[in-house]
Structures are given as structure tokens and as C-alpha cells.
Amino acid sequence: FDGIRTPVQNLSDLGFIEVAGGLVRFTHDLIQQHVYESIELEQRRTFHIEIGLFLGWKVSTSRTSSDASSLEGAVGKMYISESKSQGSVITERSLLSIATDHINHAGPEFVEQSERKSFAIWNLEVGKELSARCDFGCALHYYEQGIAFVGNEVWVDECDINGKYFCLDLYEGAAEAASAIRNDTKVKHYTNVIIRNVPLDNSLPAWITLISSLESHGRHLEILEKGIKLIQLLNIDIPPPPPSPTAVMESMATTTIAASQYDINLILSTNQSKTDRHQRNVLRLFDAITVAAYSVSSPYLPLLTFAMVRYSLKNHIHETESAFAFAGFGYFHIVFKQDYVRGKYWADVALGILKQKRAISATVRVEWLVYGHILMWF
């Protein structure tokens, strides 16, 4: 406290502040609030910016300049490292959160346009960390703050961060956090913004979040209507509504011919590589629409199952979602053709995928179908 030791001591003697080691704090929240509100708004915002920049600089691993007022490199690669202070554990992440709070207090309108995207990244990093800890309410706050900093122009100005557009990450994060706390109005808003502004392939996660929100309210018919159109837009062969019995049997025949080129060992041996993001999103979309079709006993259920089987086999991707489709394929062999041998064969494929993936979350559905409706005949 060199240079301010006397005023600090005076304030301590009067009971306004406490001094402990290297820390100074107000003795009461009302005192702190009064001091804060006595500072002019513009100066208050300046203090927030300066404090935020300094703390942001402290958590940057790529920082080379000692000038804390510059944004260059102030984010860098964030990491968690612990340092003990007064019996508490402070992490680099918590410092970033505090830094971001100060910047947010100042607000986007007080920040230069050229700097706003950098502060949006800070909010994105904090939002991701809170989402990982399942604190979705707070995560949504930071995603929304980040969105406020970038504004609508970000969809025109492609700002690439490590190969991904962080504007899309912000809106996806906001939509998923809103879905987790069941704020359906915000889910609809943020997913619709994504759907309007990015190509279909990049908007699939937003569609999945929207469908999940609709599913939580039992709006299965709406999911089916939107989902069938989406699948067709993805150039995946599925008949237009209403599906006829003839279309169902023709689709099954086509799928059976395609599937005959694979044996169980080949399917499971091609299940080792990591599925790319787009293909996994297509599978997740299929899975969500198939569940909706089952919930309303839609005639689209077998058509969706067959299309998902063909997609999985064609692209050599067999994830947990595929296991349910393969089990369904086996079930429809029994129901439509009384072919119990092929039914058991595809049930074994489904169980083999589950065993490889160790997919606890998908086990209940697949085992219910396999053991309750297929293997019961053996």
C-alpha cells in the first residue's frame, strides 16, 4: 500500500474498511454500495474496464505485452490453475469470470466496436465453463452478454476463432442453456436466429435443441412435420407424407438389399473411428424424430428406422443412435415378414454396438426393444 498507506489506515480506524495481509475490503455492503454509487457513471465504467482488462491479462497464457490496456492476446488459451489465497482456492477460470463481469458492467456501448468481439469471447469461455458444470442459468446470462457485444452484424462479418464461428457457438450455447432450464421462449428465439443465418448443415445442433424443447412439451406431431422436411432437405431418401403401406414395404426391401452387403463382423469392425460432427448430428436428428414417431404411433416409424439404418451402413457410422435403429430393423423383420432369424441378427448387431460404445444412456431403450420384443421369441 505504498503511497496510500495513510488514507487506508484512516479509513480502517474509522471502521469503513478492513485490512488483512494484502487484502482490503469494506466492512459492510451498504458502505461499498454508497461509495460505488457516489462515483460518476462514466468514471465507474472506466474503472470496470480497467479492472476487467487487468484480470483478463492475468489469465492469459499468450500475453507478451505488459500493457494491460491492450486487448491483444488478453484471452489466449484459457486453462485452470490453482493458487491458494487466504484459505480459498482461486482458479484462472474464476478470475476470467470476474474480469468478464467487470467488462459486462461497463456494457457494449462503452466499448470500442473493434474490441467488442474480444469481450464476446470472454463471455463465451465463461458460459462454456458454467455449462460444463451444469450451471445453465448463469451460463445463459454470459452467452447473452456475449451476444449483446457482437450484435447482429456478426452473421455478416465472419469472425473465425480456431476454425469455428464463435457467434454460432454463442447462440448454440444460449439455446442449449435455455433448453436445460426449460425457457422455451428463448430456445425458440435463439434457434430461429441460427436457422435463419447459417446453412442447414451448420444449423443441425440448433434444430436438435429445438426438437428437444418441443419433445418436452409432447409436441410430437410438430416434431414429425418439421423433421421429415429436414431429412428431405438433407437429401436422404424418405417418402413424402402420407406414407403408404406399399412405400413402407418398398423401403424395407431396399434397406434389406443394402444391408445384405454387410455382416456383423464388418459392421462392428468399421465402428472404431470417430464419427464426424455432421454425421453424428444427422443421427441425433434421426433419433429425436424416430422417438416422436413412436410416441404417436406414426406410420413413419418404420420408414425413419430404415432410412437411419441405410445412412449408418452407407457412411460406416454406428453410434448409440444407430443401435436403436438396428434393433428396430430387426423388430420389423419379425413384425412384417415373420423373419425371426434376421430379427435376431440385427438385435445382435445393436447389442454389439452398445457393448463397444459402453452406452449406458442408450441401453434402456435398446434392451427394451431387443429383450422385450425380439429375443422373447427365442
- Calculate mean pLDDT across residues 353-368: 76
| Statement: residue 65 has pLDDT above 50 | no
Q: What distances in angstroms separate CA 6 from CA 2, 10, 14, 21, 38, one per listed residue?
A: 9, 6, 12, 16, 22
| Helical spans, DSSP H, in the chain | 5-13, 29-38, 41-58, 92-106, 113-132, 136-150, 166-180, 184-197, 200-216, 220-233, 245-259, 264-269, 277-295, 300-314, 320-337, 340-357, 360-373
Rounded to whole angstroms, how far apart are CA atoms 359 and 338? 29
* Residue 285 CB neighbour total at 10 angstroms: 22
The letter for the amino acid at 20 is A
pLDDT in tens, 86-127: 334 445 557 888 889 999 988 888 877 778 888 888 899 899
Measured in degrees and rounded to the nearest 5, phi and psi for residue 44 equal: -60, -45
CB neighbour burial string for 301-310, b if at least 16 within 10 angstroms, e if fewer: bbbbbbbbbb
H/E element, 26: strand 23-26
Rounded to whole angstroms, how far apart are CA atoms 82 and 275? 35
User: Which is nearest to 93 in space by CA: 123, 121, 126?
Assistant: 126
- Calculate mean pLDDT across residues 203-214: 93
CA angle in degrees (0–180, nearest 5) for 127-133-136: 55
* Residue 199 CB neighbour total at 10 angstroms: 7
Rounded to whole angstroms, how far apart are CA atoms 189 and 197? 13
| Statement: residue 74 has pLDDT above 70 | no
The secondary structure of 216-260 as a DSSP string is HTT-HHHHHHHHHHHHHHTT---PPSSPPHHHHHHHHHHHHHHHT
Rounded to whole angstroms, how far apart are CA atoms 174 and 180? 10
pLDDT of residue 319: 82
- Calculate mean pLDDT across residues 48-68: 65
**Any bridge partners for residue 161, and if so which?**
164
CA atoms within 13 A on the CB side of 329: 33
pTM: 0.77
pLDDT in tens, 9-33: 888 888 888 888 777 888 898 988 8
Q: What distances in angstroms separate CA 56 from CA 10, 113, 162, one per listed residue?
A: 32, 18, 19
pLDDT of residue 61: 43
pLDDT in tens, 215-224: 988 999 999 9
Q: How far is CA 186 from the centre of its chain?
A: 15
Q: Which residue has the cell 413413419?
A: 300
Rounded to whole angstroms, how far apart are CA atoms 203 and 197? 9
| Statement: residue 328 has pLDDT above 90 | yes
What is the pLDDT confidence band of residue 71, given thresholds at 50, 70 and 90? very low
